[in-house]
Structures are given as structure tokens and as C-alpha cells.
Amino acid sequence: MQKKILIIEDEQSIATLLSYNLKQAGYETLIASDGKEGFEMALSEMPSLIVLDLMLPSMDGVEICKELRLQKVGIPIIMLTAKDEEFDKVLGLELGADDYMTKPFSPREVVARIKAVLRRSEGLKVTREDSSSSEMKLGKLKVYPERYEAFLNDEQLEFTPKEFELLVYLMENKNRVLTRDQLLSAVWKYDFAGDTRIVDVHISHLRDKIEENSRKPVFIKTIRGLGYKFEEPKPV
């Protein structure tokens, strides 16, 4: 089955160029030139991935990204930004985008990025299925990597795909100190311009979700000057 890519972009020439190249690469494409329309299309069409422009009429890329994640829609998102636009990539990733690109870009590069993001989200599912129906249980935290589900005190938690990957990786390496660079290359795979703040942002999101008191984390410990360690909480 062809994968559907939704392009939310108000610059017609860019949208058309992207769509053309994606079709050449074997994808089905949908185009929305207005923010609100794009947001609604994302919900009704549930595409495999969204290429999302930052500046859009009626609802901008940041709002769309935030709103989709609020509604627990985990569709991978690649943000597009213009060179002169003030855009903090960490903020974008914090909002739940999976990657970002600065215009002007070569269509070939976008297609490559899209493939990489799709591969990562699928690769994760495949490896998890292969590793049988594993359950990772640590204290009150239960994680089912193959089902992409996690529970705290039997209450289901919601994560973005990257947060979930990070959590699983930390748990797989529990009681080991992991540097930010290690986490960056293990979870984000390729070079994110080496910006390790992304790791800190995601760790803080994970803590908000799994720790009872994120200021006094029992699971994810900060190892000063080094990185992070996932610890098995001591029985009380």
C-alpha cells in the first residue's frame, strides 16, 4: 500500500515541487495550503507523515503541531522553516516534531529525510515485534515496547514516538550511565547538529510523565557532568 504524505504549505511552488518528488518516490500525496484545512486533513486522512510549513494562514505550524500532539496524534512531523524565520529547532522538537528542514532545500534531501523518519518509526515497530511480546516492568512502571504502550500505576501514559523510543532505550540500559551524545545517536540516529539540548528536553518530558515528582526523579537520574541513568527504584 502506498504511504500517504500530507504537505501543509501555502507556497504553491514548494508544495507542488514536494508533491512531485514524493510521487516519484512512490508516495501518495495530499496538499493543504491553509493551516486549519491542513490540520483537519491530518485528522481525517491520518497520513503516514506530515510535512509542515511554519508560517501558514489561519493556523501556523507550531499550533498545528501542538494541537495534534495534544490530541494524541502521533503522526511523524517534519517542520519546514524559512531561513529568515526565527525558529528554535529545540522548540519545534519540544512541540513534538520529529525533524525540521530549512528552506531552500533540495527535494531529494526532503525525500531522504522523509524516508529516514518513516523508517525510524516503522523500524521501531518491527524490532519490537521481533523481540516477542516483551514486557518491561520496573516498579510501578510497565512498558510494552512492541505495543508502544506504557502504564504507570496501571494508568496508560501518552508519549510522542521519540519520547517512547528514549524511554525504551533508557530502560534497556538501566543502571548504566548514558551520555547525552550516546542518547542522541542511539535514539535520534543521525546528526542533529549535535544539539544535545534535545535530549534534555525529552528527558524532562519523560519525567513529567513517569515521575511522581519530576523534581525528585526516582527513575531517570541526572548524573552531573555525564548524562542520565535509568534506575530501578528501590522497594519502599
Q: Give the interface with Ca ion as residue ranges (CB under 5 A).
A: 10, 53, 55
Instruction: Please report how close the Cβ of residue 106 comes to Ca ion at its closest, in angstroms.
Output: 18
Taking CB atoms, the residue at the shortest distance from Ca ion is: 55
Instruction: Please report how close the Cβ of residue 73 comes to Ca ion at its closest, in angstroms.
Output: 22
Instruction: Please report how close the Cβ of residue 57 comes to Ca ion at its closest, in angstroms.
Output: 8
* CA 168-52-38 angle, 5° bins: 110
Q: How far apart are CA 201 and CA 89, in angstroms?
A: 11
Instruction: Please report how close the Cβ of residue 9 comes to Ca ion at its closest, in angstroms.
Output: 6
Instruction: Please report how close the Cβ of residue 201 comes to Ca ion at its closest, in angstroms.
Output: 25
Longest dimension (CA), the chain: 61
Complex with Ca ion: residue 53 or 94, whichever CB lies closer = 53
Complex with Ca ion: residue 10 or 172, whichever CB lies closer = 10
27: Cα within 13 Å, side-chain hemisphere:
25
Please list, residue by residue across 22-35, b when 16 or more beta carbons sit within 10 angstroms of its beta carbon and e when fewer do: beebebbbbbbbeb
30: Cα within 13 Å, side-chain hemisphere:
22
Complex with Ca ion: residue 10 or 67, whichever CB lies closer = 10
Residue carrying the nine cell digits 500525496: 29
Residue carrying the nine cell digits 486549519: 36
Complex with Ca ion: residue 110 or 220, whichever CB lies closer = 110
Instruction: Please report how close the Cβ of residue 12 comes to Ca ion at its closest, in angstroms.
Output: 10
Complex with Ca ion: residue 58 or 71, whichever CB lies closer = 58
Q: How far apart are CA 64 and CA 122, in angstroms?
A: 23
217 preceded by cis ω (within 30°)? Answer: no
Complex with Ca ion: residue 53 or 98, whichever CB lies closer = 53
Note whether 229 and 183 are within 8 A (CB).
no
Instruction: Please report how close the Cβ of residue 203 comes to Ca ion at its closest, in angstroms.
Output: 32
Complex with Ca ion: residue 9 or 163, whichever CB lies closer = 9
**CB burial class (10 A; 0-12, 13-18, 19+) of residue 118?**
middle
